[in-house]
């Protein structure tokens, strides 16, 4: 009996202990990191696939039919303007030229004799006019023969580089046959395709100057800077791009027609206002941030993004430099909510972004 009473007393004590309320631990209120926008000079670099074109690149073709009897240049050679390049067999045209020269000599003698007689009133003025007409016709025939003779000689229309020969010595060429190509690469036009959105950004700021460089196929930069001088008229409907043309000097002749590479366009943003991308969110194609006032109340704020860098947005409106922007926990807060914050210096925040990016 005493054992039963002792056991009952123990159970009663255990029940009373279990029924006592357990003290709750107060949850620590979350503390959110905030920072202010950073001011710094920034650059945005874009690359575009590009192709090199000589400012003059033409096909050299035969002007007359005949055998190619002389070649005065070599493939890859730099030829100066008006240098003789090819000779097509001129035998027939040389004979025509000599005949025309003889006709001019004969007509000239006849005209002089007739003029002497006309001055003495021995022959009529009409006879003198007839001799003069014959002389003019002979001179015209001579000019035609000289032209045909010149057409058998192919001269360089400008200073440039020879390409490969399309014919060989002794070949029978027809009028219009391709002999070679000639490129003046002292100045180059480099074409690159730009998406429509970037084209619109460029045109919306007519005072914006583009620093244009050319990255060659070996990954090195060409030692001359280029200038964007023109934009083609139409967009390519299949790609949504439009072609820009940059002009580059090529004094050393390193680049040649047909090369490929990348155009690198650098846009400068002096004293740019920047915030981390992770501090933003998007609603219906608009970008927002949460700004925390001095009273700790959260408010959403629309922002205007001027450019996008790795992990960073460059802004052109929406924030003051003193606004405290929420860095993290964007899903845990809402409009008008009061939160506890800790301030982090912008330089430290951006250094962490760089660290994580690496």
Domain end, chosen from 237, 269, 301, is at 269
In a domain, 8, yes or no: no
Domain extent for 338: 31-42+270-357
What is the CATH classification number for the domain harbouring 117? 1.10.287.470
Taking CA atoms, 165 is separated from 53, 57, 71, 74, 217, in Å, by 20, 15, 10, 8, 27
Side-chain half-sphere CA neighbours of 290 within 13 A: 25
pLDDT tens across 83-136, in order? 999 998 876 777 777 887 888 888 888 888 888 888 888 878 888 788 888 888
**CA dihedral for 94, 95, 97, 101, sign (positive or negative):** positive
Across the chain, mean pLDDT equals: 85
Residues near 208 by beta carbon (within 8 Å), at least 6 away in sequence: 202, 267
Domain match, 264 and 275 both: no
Domain match, 226 and 293 both: no
Query: Could you tell me where the DSSP H helices lie in 152-284?
Result: 196-203
**∠ CA 331-333-337, rounded to 5°:** 165
| Global confidence as pTM | 0.67
What is the CATH classification number for the domain harbouring 346? 2.40.420.20
Highest mean pLDDT among 66-70, 207-211, 286-290: 286-290
Residues near 300 by beta carbon (within 8 Å), at least 6 away in sequence: 288, 289, 290, 291, 335
8 A C-beta contact, residue 60 and residue 173 = no
Domain match, 197 and 253 both: yes
In a domain, 1, yes or no: no
Domain match, 220 and 168 both: no
Domain end, chosen from 239, 269, 299, is at 269
In a domain, 14, yes or no: no
Domain match, 50 and 194 both: yes
pLDDT surpassing 80 at residue 283: yes
In a domain, 5, yes or no: no
User: How far, rounded to the nearest angstrom, does the alpha carbon of residue 51 sit from its chain's CA centroid?
Assistant: 9
Domain match, 83 and 160 both: yes
Domain match, 277 and 351 both: yes
pLDDT tens across 38-77, in order? 999 998 888 999 999 999 999 999 988 888 999 999 998 9
Tokens of 264: 């690198």
Give the number of domains in the chain.
Answer: 4
């Amino acid at each position: 009996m005493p054992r039963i009473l002792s056991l009952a007393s123990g159970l009663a004590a255990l029940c009373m202990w279990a029924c006592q309320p357990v003290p709750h631990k107060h949850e620590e209120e979350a503390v959110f990191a905030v920072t202010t926008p950073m001011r710094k000079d920034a650059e945005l670099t874009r690359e575009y696939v590009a192709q090199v074109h000589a400012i003059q690149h033409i096909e050299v073709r035969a002007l007359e039919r005949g055998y190619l009897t002389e070649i005065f240049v070599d493939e890859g050679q730099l030829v100066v303007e008006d240098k003789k390049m090819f000779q097509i067999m001129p035998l027939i045209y040389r004979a025509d030229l000599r005949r025309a020269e003889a006709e001019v000599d004969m007509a000239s003698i006849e005209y002089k004799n007739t003029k002497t007689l006309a001055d003495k009133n021995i022959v009529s003025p009409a006879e003198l006019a007839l001799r003069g007409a014959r002389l003019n016709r002979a001179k015209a025939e001579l000019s035609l023969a000289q032209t045909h003779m010149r057409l058998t000689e192919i001269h360089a229309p400008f200073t440039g580089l020879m390409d490969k020969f399309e014919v060989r010595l002794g070949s029978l060429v027809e009028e219009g046959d391709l002999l070679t190509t000639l490129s003046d690469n002292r100045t180059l036009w480099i074409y690159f395709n730009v998406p429509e959105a970037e084209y619109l950004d460029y045109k919306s700021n007519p005072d914006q100057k583009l620093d244009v460089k050319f990255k060659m196929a070996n990954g090195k930069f060409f030692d001359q800077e280029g200038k964007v001088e023109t934009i083609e008229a139409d967009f390519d409907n299949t790609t949504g791009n439009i072609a820009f043309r940059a002009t580059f000097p090529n004094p050393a002749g390193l680049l040649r027609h047909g090369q490929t590479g990348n155009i690198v366009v650098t846009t400068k943003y002096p004293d740019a206002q920047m915030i981390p991308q992770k501090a933003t969110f998007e609603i219906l194609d608009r970008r927002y941030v949460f700004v925390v006032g001095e009273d700790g109340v959260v408010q959403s704020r629309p922002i205007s993004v001027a450019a996008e860098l790795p992990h960073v947005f460059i802004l052109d409106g929406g924030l003051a430099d003193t606004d405290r922007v929420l860095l993290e926990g964007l899903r845990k807060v809402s409009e008008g909510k009061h939160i506890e914050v800790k301030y982090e210096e912008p330089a430290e925040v951006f250094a962490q972004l760089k660290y994580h990016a690496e």
